[in-house]
Amino acid sequence: MWPLQPGYDYPRNQWYVAGWSHELNNQTPVERWILGEPVALYRDEAGTPIALEGRCPHRNYPLARSIIRGNALECGYHGFTFGPDGACVRIPSQVTIPAVCRVKAFPLVEKWQWLWIWMGDPALADPAMIPDHDEMKITSPGWLAVAALDRVLECRPQLLHENLTDISHLSFLHAATIGTEAVAATKVEVTQTDRYLRGSRFIPGETLTGFFAEVLGYDGPVERLVLIDFYAPSVHVALESFRKPGGEVIGEFRVHHAVTPAGPDRTNYFLAWSRNFATDNSQVTDIMNTVFEGVIQQDVDATHAIEQMIRRTPNPTELLVRADEHSIKGRRWIEELIAAERTA
């Protein structure tokens, strides 16, 4: 799936964000397509989140159009009923239930306000592989975290991944809000650990945009650190740190991007953000929500436009430059995860 190697799509033995905690209840299932498969999400009577394959094996009816009966899902077409483990527990038209009449049950972990799903081999689903929420500053003391928005993008997942790792586009696509010319003009420094791939830019003598000046309550010269950590294959965490010349921190915020492939050309996108300044000021929260929503819409429009161009181009190509180093290393990391699964 271009721009990945031919025949590559996405790694399966990984954790992906399937949705928000507040989306699920024990009344109505939620359907979400993940890695090309339909998933029915709901809560059982105890409030535990459940994820089942979202296709009834009888007639392929969407299981999200079911009725929740206690802890089970009753298919809305012929009443086939499936328990939380995926086994069929009732066929209204007969007493005998064939052993093959079942759906897949996917490991699902609720952490902070995110629901993390494992679409691969259940035996390999280790919750310790979920990115550290304290490290990302979602659950850290002194930080206010906000569950912001979600979108379904009509584009292949890799386009969004590379939009997020190549932040030189801030200078142009987001010039009116969070971008300045200095972002693209500053060399990106790329480093990698066993947990994330980091691209960082340190900008001395930066001039604040009106948005930054408003939320930070400061309009003087600053040193700006802009970086983004890619937790392959699904999460990007951007940091913006502003300091007065000499090192005094004015404020920092992080934007948490969860990229979950819906299929080859559709992408689930979940966005949260956190900050360590004015944490009790709801007006600042409202301003940031409004601006981030506009910024994200610009990214959505850009990736949609690129997707349409690729679809209409028989053999798409790309011209890469030095600023693409972070994006290309992130792309290679995803390919390595896919290759490792194939080898195993």
The average pLDDT across 95-103 equals 97
pLDDT in tens, 129-162: 999 999 999 999 999 999 999 999 999 999 999 9
pLDDT at 200 over 90: yes
Q: Which residues contact 313 (CB under 8 A, 6 or more apart)?
A: none
The average pLDDT across 221-249 equals 96
DSSP symbol at 172: H
pLDDT in tens, 10-63: 999 999 999 999 999 999 999 999 999 999 999 999 999 999 999 999 999 999
What is the bridge-based pairing of β-strands 81-82 and 88-90?
antiparallel
Structure-token pair, residue 300:
């959505």
Domain ranges, ordered by start, for the chain: 15-128, 131-343
Contact yes or no for 29/42 (Cβ under 8 A): yes
- One of 3.40.50.2300, 3.90.380.10, 3.40.630.10, 3.30.479.30 is the CATH number of 131-343, namely 3.90.380.10
Helix axes 282-311, 157-165, angle to 10 degrees: 130
Mean pLDDT, the chain, as a whole number? 97
Element at 335 (helix H, strand E): helix 325-343
CA dihedral sign, ordered 34, 316, 174, 229 = positive
The pTM assigned to this predicted structure is 0.96
Contact yes or no for 66/72 (Cβ under 8 A): no
CA 66 to chain centre: 27
Q: Which of 163, 239, 234, 160 is nearest to 198 (CA)?
A: 239
Three-state DSSP state, 282: helix
Separation CA 286–CA 277 (nearest Å): 14
pLDDT at 344 over 90: no
pLDDT in tens, 111-122: 999 999 999 999
Fold (CATH) for 15-128? Rieske Iron-sulfur Protein (2.102.10)
